[in-house]
Amino acid sequence: MNVLKWYDQNQRTLPWRAKKGEAPNPYYVYLSEIMLQQTTVATVKDYFERFIKKWPTLKELAEANLDEILVEWQGLGYYSRARNLHKAVKVLAELSLFLSMPTDLKKLPGVGDYTAAAIASIAFDYPVVPIDGNIMRVFARLFAIPSPVPLLKQDVYKYTSRMGEGGRSGDFAQGLMDLGAMICRPLNPRCTECPLKTTCRAYNEGKTTEFPVSKIKPEKPKRYGVAYILLHKGKILLEKRPSKGLLGGMMGVPTTPWQDEVLNPEDLVMFEKSSEWHKVSKQVKHTFTHFHLYLTVKVGIRQEICDGCWVSLDNLQSVALPTVMKKVIKQIPHEILRNCSKIN
């Protein structure tokens, strides 16, 4: 088959991928697929290698606590994946054999149709084609499928439902993924190098740029809030966010609720009554999957320490801080940091 022949000669070298002649490591495949959910290969590589260095086996990762995992995960985003990973590896560590069937894998927290199919196919040669964005793009162009992206997956499934049965299912799936990433790219596809160019309808009809058919994305809503940085003797007050919801279980500075409108000054009285606050001129903007967040940052210095989780500013790397909180903390003015350090 053209895809397998092309893959044998052009496959990407990835830290979780088995070398030629070696059997895939199911733990590596599982961990990488969880990390790759809504995240690029380039971003995941370093995180994967750090995880494997710290926890070389699934059993060792299963013995880690959630805070340890969140610290290593910080910056990767979509933190529910880390919480689900923590739950799932404990289940897997109790089994005598790694789950190999998509139906069984889907019972694990955080594993849906695609992830289950990818693990089963790549790790165990299960005859299924996992349909990710790269594979959808390849087939949308190959057969000039007119369905827009939200409906495209079910149409691609009709073409791929029996394709994984020809042997080397895992290599075939990874070959399609690599083909989409390296050749059938979203922009400037390298069609003349594609092993499928003779049968690709979009290429032969000169319509490559028209597929996949895009759906116009609605503008993301905006949310607003105030973040409070409270300092004392070179330390910062942090709190753990609720385990459920956005950034669940992560650490951060206290904030007001995030809402659709800017808070009025009178609404902030309950948050600001205990300290005098310096408003930072630059607003922090952070984009989540479904909305843009705008945070006004206020900084206060305590003469006397109050109850809470106080962490040295020099030791923040040991705390599971999401990217938005790192952005907030970077806004502390230098003169305030100097004054904070002078308080004995």
CATH number at residue 265: 3.90.79.10
- Other C-beta atoms closer than 10 Å to the C-beta of 240 total 16
Domain termination residue (choose one: 210, 241, 271): 210
83/134 same-domain check: yes
SS3 166: helix
Are 246 and 107 part of one and the same domain? no
**Is residue 14 a part of any domain in this protein?**
yes
Tell me if 216 is assigned to some domain.
Answer: no
Which of 165, 189, 210 is the C-terminal boundary of a domain?
210
Please report the pLDDT score of residue 112 as a whole number.
96
- Domain containing 329 equals 222-342
The confidence score (pLDDT) of residue 302 equals: 81
Catalytic residue list: 33
Residue 344's pLDDT is 46
Report mean pLDDT in 10-residue bins for the chain, 344 residues.
Answer: 91 95 96 96 97 98 96 93 97 96 97 97 96 95 92 91 84 96 96 96 96 87 94 92 86 92 69 75 92 94 82 91 95 80 53
Domain end point (choices 190, 210, 230) = 210
Cα gap 3→5, rounded to integer Å: 6
**Per-residue confidence (pLDDT) for residue 150, from 0 to 100:** 79
**How many domains would you assign to the chain?**
2
Report the C-alpha gap between 109 and 114 in whole angstroms. 14
DSSP string, 285-343: EEE-SS-EEEEEEEEEE-SS--SSEEEEGGGGGGS---HHHHHHHTTS-HHHHHHHHH-
Through-space distance between the first and last CA atoms of the chain, rounded to whole angstroms: 73
pTM (2 decimals)? 0.82
CATH number at residue 110: 1.10.340.30
